[in-house]
């Protein structure tokens, strides 16, 4: 069995990992687009023979979750190669991309490509020739995210994708690895926090409690967070309900939350059950009620939300996503910088595993080799394990 990280050994995001059996069956895990660097520049994208050009030479692409740095290059994959993603992830990604297509950021042919994605759920095992892939559900800032256990030639590899253990479902991640994975030969592990400052990582529940306090003390609350960070929205929603504030979203966000309510069996994600929980779909006839009773409203950095910030100018603004967006010079980042008021309150916690969580996964899976990816300092993994294998992009590693 061979492992090759085509990209992602020395950067956060843009991950493309390859697994090849002795017989020569090749699959890809994640097909991420590059994230902008600190100056906002995005490096040119790569082309891979047999994957994005030439004669197809890969049997399948498996996507861990719908963040652009893991799925962004889907439209470059040769049409003969199937792309697999979680069933709910596919629907959420489709909703987001459909919204973007209305603003002409996404082309119709790309929506058709998304419609062609094959899906799996937590109960599935997928067999691609002599390779078996088992998805393991994880906790991350994207809903319906997975690790993949990949088995071939009598060997086991666990590819973690992005994950964490300090979210609402964090503890279940370690239990699932214990139950469904156990010992592996090789662990391919995300290392985002090896360099990012991760002192005092809040749990999602602690964040909810802090939000509750802010909402209690302030009448008009706007919250900026990713529209697909469902666990964050669940925490904000719960905080709003606990202090009896109207929780308001626009149509797009409401549709997304209603979809999650419908498909999820967990009571964590019951946004609109028609009884105890409610999401208000914004309409202009609600303005009097909003003025009288106060509210919590989810916003995105776009001109549709600017009038609300002006209308309720004595508002509190909560910034609930990565602070890096407020620093970079990228065009998308600039939009956020112009939108966010100077006196924002920062209330966020990472979607990524702390070094302690990575250490726990290493202990449970007891691998012979640990390959760090999705990190800006791969050498730092050596502080957590003596089994580190430090690869460069494109370098092959054979698991004997």
Phi-psi region of 245 (alpha: psi -120 to 50; beta: other; left: phi over 0): beta
Report 12-31 residues binding Zn ion (CB under 5 A): 13
Task: Give whole-number Cα distances, 199 to 107, 196, 203, 326, 379, in Å.
Answer: 41, 9, 12, 20, 20
**Closest distance between Zn ion and the C-beta of residue 342, in Å?**
29
- Apex 189 CA angle, 97 and 355, nearest 5: 105
Distance in Å, CB of 161 to Zn ion, minimum: 7
Which residue lies nearer to Zn ion by CB, 148 or 308? 148
On the CB side of 29, CA atoms within 13 Å amount to: 31
Nearest CB to Zn ion, comparing residues 69 and 212: 69
User: Would you give the end-to-end CA distance of the chain in angstroms?
Assistant: 7
The least CB distance from residue 163 to Zn ion, in Å, is: 9
Footprint of Zn ion on 48-77 (CB under 5 A): 67, 69
Site for Zn ion in 127-146 (CB under 5 A): none
By DSSP bridging, strand 16-20 and strand 26-29 are antiparallel
Closest by CA to 193, choosing from 13, 352, 390, is 352
Mask for 92-111, x = binds Zn ion (CB under 5 A): --------------------
- Residue 132 near residue 126, CB atoms below 8 Å: yes
Q: Report the residue number, 270 or 374, with the smaller CB distance to Zn ion.
A: 374
In the bound state with Zn ion, the residue whose beta carbon lies nearer, of 64 and 316, is 64
Minimal distance in Å, beta carbon 110 to Zn ion?
Answer: 20
Is-contact 136 228, C-beta < 8 A? Answer: no
Inter-residue contact 51 to 17 (CB < 8 Å): no
- The span of 109-117, 150-158, 159-167, 389-397 binding Zn ion (CB under 5 A) equals 159-167
Nearest-5° angle of CA 105, CA 109, CA 113? 105
Note the residue count of the chain: 400
Min CB(276)–Zn ion separation in Å: 31
Q: Does 232 bind Zn ion (CB under 5 A)?
A: no
Nearer to Zn ion, 69 or 151 (CB): 69
List CB contacts of 63: < 8 A, sequence separation 6 or more: 30, 31, 70, 71, 74, 83, 84, 85, 89, 117
Least distance (Å) between residue 333 CB and Zn ion: 17
Q: Least distance (Å) from Zn ion to the CB of residue 13?
A: 5
Residue 85 CB, shortest distance to Zn ion, in Å, is 13
Compare residues 13 and 372 and give the one whose CB is closer to Zn ion. Answer: 13
Collapsing DSSP to helix, strand or coil, 335 comes out as helix
Tokens of 356: 């302690």
Q: Total residues at the site for Zn ion (CB under 5 A)?
A: 4
Among the candidate windows 11-19, 102-110, 171-179, 241-249, which touches Zn ion by CB under 5 A? Answer: 11-19
Among 18, 162, 185, 250, binds Zn ion (CB under 5 A): 162
Residues in contact with Zn ion by CB under 5 A are 13, 67, 69, 162
């Amino acid at each position: 069995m061979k492992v090759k990280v085509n990209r992602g050994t020395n950067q956060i995001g843009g991950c493309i990992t390859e697994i090849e059996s002795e017989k020569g069956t090749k699959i890809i895990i994640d097909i991420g687009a590059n994230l902008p660097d600190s100056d906002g520049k995005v490096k040119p994208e790569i082309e891979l023979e047999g994957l994005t050009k030439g004669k197809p030479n890969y049997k399948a692409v498996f996507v861990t979750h719908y963040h652009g740095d893991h799925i962004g290059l889907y439209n470059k994959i040769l049409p003969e190669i199937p792309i697999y993603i979680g069933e709910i992830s596919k629907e959420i990604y489709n909703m987001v991309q459909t919204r973007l297509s209305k603003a002409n950021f996404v082309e119709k042919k790309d929506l058709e490509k998304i419609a062609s994605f094959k899906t799996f759920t937590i109960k599935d095992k997928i067999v691609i020739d002599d390779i078996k892939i088992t998805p393991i559900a994880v906790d991350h800032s994207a809903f319906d995210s997975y690790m993949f256990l990949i088995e071939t030639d009598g060997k086991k590899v666990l590819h973690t994708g992005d994950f964490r253990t300090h979210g609402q479902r964090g503890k279940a991640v370690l239990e699932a690895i214990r139950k469904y994975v156990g010992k592996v030969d090789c662990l391919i592990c995300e290392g985002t926090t090896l360099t990012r400052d991760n002192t005092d990582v809040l749990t999602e529940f602690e964040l909810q409690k802090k939000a509750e306090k802010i909402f209690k003390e302030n009448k008009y609350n706007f919250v900026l967070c990713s529209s697909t960070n469902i666990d964050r929205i669940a925490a904000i929603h719960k905080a709003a309900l606990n202090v009896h504030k109207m929780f308001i979203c626009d149509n797009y966000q409401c549709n997304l939350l209603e979809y999650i309510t419908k498909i999820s069996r967990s009571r964590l994600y019951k946004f609109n059950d028609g009884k105890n929980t409610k999401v208000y779909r914004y309409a202009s006839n609600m303005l009097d009620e909003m003025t009288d009773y106060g509210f919590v409203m989810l916003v995105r950095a776009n001109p549709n939300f600017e009038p609300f910030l002006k209308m309720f100018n004595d508002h509190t603004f909560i910034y609930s996503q990565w602070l890096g967006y407020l620093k970079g010079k990228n065009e998308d980042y600039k939009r956020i910088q112009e939108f966010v008021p100077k006196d924002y309150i920062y209330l966020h916690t990472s979607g990524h595993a702390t070094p302690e969580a990575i250490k726990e996964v290493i202990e449970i899976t007891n691998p012979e080799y640990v390959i760090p990816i999705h990190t800006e300092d791969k050498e730092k993994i050596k502080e957590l394990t003596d089994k580190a294998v430090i690869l460069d992009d494109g370098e092959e590693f054979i698991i004997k």
